[in-house]
Amino acid sequence: MKNLLTNAKKKLDYVVNLLFCGHLFKIYSFFIILVFLTQFSSIGNEVIDWDETDFILMGNSFYEGNLPYTELWDLKPPMHFILIGFAFKTFGPSLLVTRLLGDFLIFLSAALIYHLTKDIFTNFERVLAASVYIIFVSFDFSQPTMTEFTATFFILLSLTFLKNNGNHNFFLSGFAISLSVLTRTNIAFVVIGLLVYLYRQKVSTKKVMIFLSGGLSPLFTFMLIYLFEGALKEFLYSVFVIPLGNTVIRENFLDFVTSSLPTIFLDGVFSIQIWFVFLLVSLLMRYFIKSKTNSKKLIIDFPDVISLNIVIFFSILISILLGGRFFYHYLIQLFPFASILLIFLIKNLYEKKSIVYVGIILLIFLNILSPAKQSIYNLTNYSEIERNYEIKSFVNYIDSEKNLLALDNHIIYFYTGIKPITPVVHPNTIAKAQDYKLLLEQLMELGYIVENQFSVILEDKPEYLFCEKECSLYIPESYFKNYTLISKNKDIKLYQLSD
């Protein structure tokens, strides 16, 4: 039996080596195809997550020549907006370009996973680890182009530099991790984790200082740019002060466990991600149980790459738990490191790991059948899909010279070129006066809004109201007597101010 498993493992490595022959072009092509098959299936959905639309509006503002926070405002650091803006400058502003940017970031992260694991995995295991990551991010909440993809790419890039010796690599590692923090502020926990790791590894003070100097370089560069633009306060508040204050808006953690987790796991009980999570947990349980009964046989040598992965994984996990609120897409930050740890644990804890690998390949194949079919259909029919976008169909009824209030589906601002009534791009933030009291006070201090901003907007009567669900929550029914319904598509309605 042991010889049979050994032969099976050799055959798996042989097949991978035969397919890829060590050529990066073939490996990268495989990753690109896998990303396409798992991601392009959602291109027919205009709005998957409001945050993506926020990022599109902020990126489009940068594309038009405005620094983040100078024309429009959102509660995120600037790097993701800038990246989208550069994508728009290169390929033109569109929803498709935004989604493909996210796909490209997934591919780059998969490629970095492949390279990071060069010294600890076989070629087959490296490809498998990257493939598992790509499958992990095929959850519905992972389909939009979120900040998590940009942040984890920069973390993996930092880890790639940190893996190598040399002062310049420590500088570049610090530079990359700083770009990650300037994408998502919770990555500051990763910086703390890495500094603790470097201290425990007795890395020289000189190299740690070079790492820190690399990390401070992007921050000081941004501060200088905003200082010259006269918007340093807006930058510092938007990147550091307001996000810190936003953590006071906390969900009850017990409510999160009882409501959020069942939605993720029970609704998708047959998805490959759930099986991978189950496998990862079972591996950890197997390790801890057997380490107590027979510790000598379970001594695992953790290479530096794995130790760093563990540090980063738990740093991000702690940042999520302490962040005040939870949304499913936060989990995207864990997936690259979970995929590497999963393959590492299988490699070191299972004698019959070839069977597990075959099972994973089968799960991957079964998981991509449905999205792959939809992705291919979407590719061949994309022009028709774009023409039939529900929200985009309202553009012909809207005069782009008039103002518009959208409390949901605010991608309509992007389609029409109309600026949001206030610089705050998230559609219903200003309507939640009680929920976001502290945030709104800070935005007033910065001059983005005025006191009772939402009431002021309603008193001024915007030319158009674009509504689906949110209008009924924040606008009294009597208010619509001032408006005429001029277009409707399913539950989405467009009202125009009556003469």
Instruction: List all residues 6 or more positions away from 35 whose beta carbon is below 8 Å from its beta carbon.
Output: 103, 106, 107, 110, 134
Whether residue 320 is found in the same domain as residue 408: no
pTM of the model: 0.89
Instruction: List all residues 6 or more positions away from 105 whose beta carbon is below 8 Å from its beta carbon.
Output: 145, 149, 150, 153
Domain termination site, one of 379, 407, 442: 379
Domain termination site, one of 345, 379, 413: 379
404 membership: H or E segment, kind and range? strand 404-406
Residue 384 lies in a domain: no
384 membership: H or E segment, kind and range? helix 382-387
Per-residue pLDDT of the chain (499 residues; tens, 9 = 90+): 455 555 555 655 655 555 555 578 899 999 999 999 999 999 999 988 889 999 999 999 999 999 999 999 999 999 999 999 999 999 999 999 999 999 999 999 999 999 999 999 999 999 999 999 999 898 777 777 899 999 999 999 999 999 887 789 999 999 999 999 999 999 999 999 999 999 999 999 999 999 999 999 999 999 999 999 999 999 999 999 888 776 655 555 555 555 555 554 444 444 555 556 666 666 666 665 665 565 555 567 789 999 999 999 999 989 888 876 777 788 899 999 999 998 998 888 877 788 888 888 888 888 888 899 999 999 999 999 999 999 999 999 999 999 999 999 999 999 999 999 999 999 999 999 888 888 999 999 999 999 999 999 999 999 999 999 999 999 999 999 999 999 999 999 999 999 7
Whether residue 272 is found in the same domain as residue 403: no
Whether residue 304 is found in the same domain as residue 432: no
- Please give the structure tokens belonging to residue 36: 């396409």
Question: Residues in the chain, how many?
Answer: 499
Residue 386 lies in a domain: no
Whether residue 305 is found in the same domain as residue 417: no
Whether residue 335 is found in the same domain as residue 453: no
Amino acid at 289: I
488 membership: H or E segment, kind and range? strand 483-489
Planar angle of CA 374, 125, 99, nearest 5 degrees: 30
Tell me which residue range forms the domain holding 409.
Answer: 392-497
Whether residue 373 is found in the same domain as residue 396: no
Whether residue 192 is found in the same domain as residue 56: yes
Long-range contacts from 472-475, C-beta under 8 angstroms, 24+ separation: 473/407, 473/428, 473/431, 474/407, 474/428, 474/431, 475/407
Q: How many domains does the chain have?
A: 2
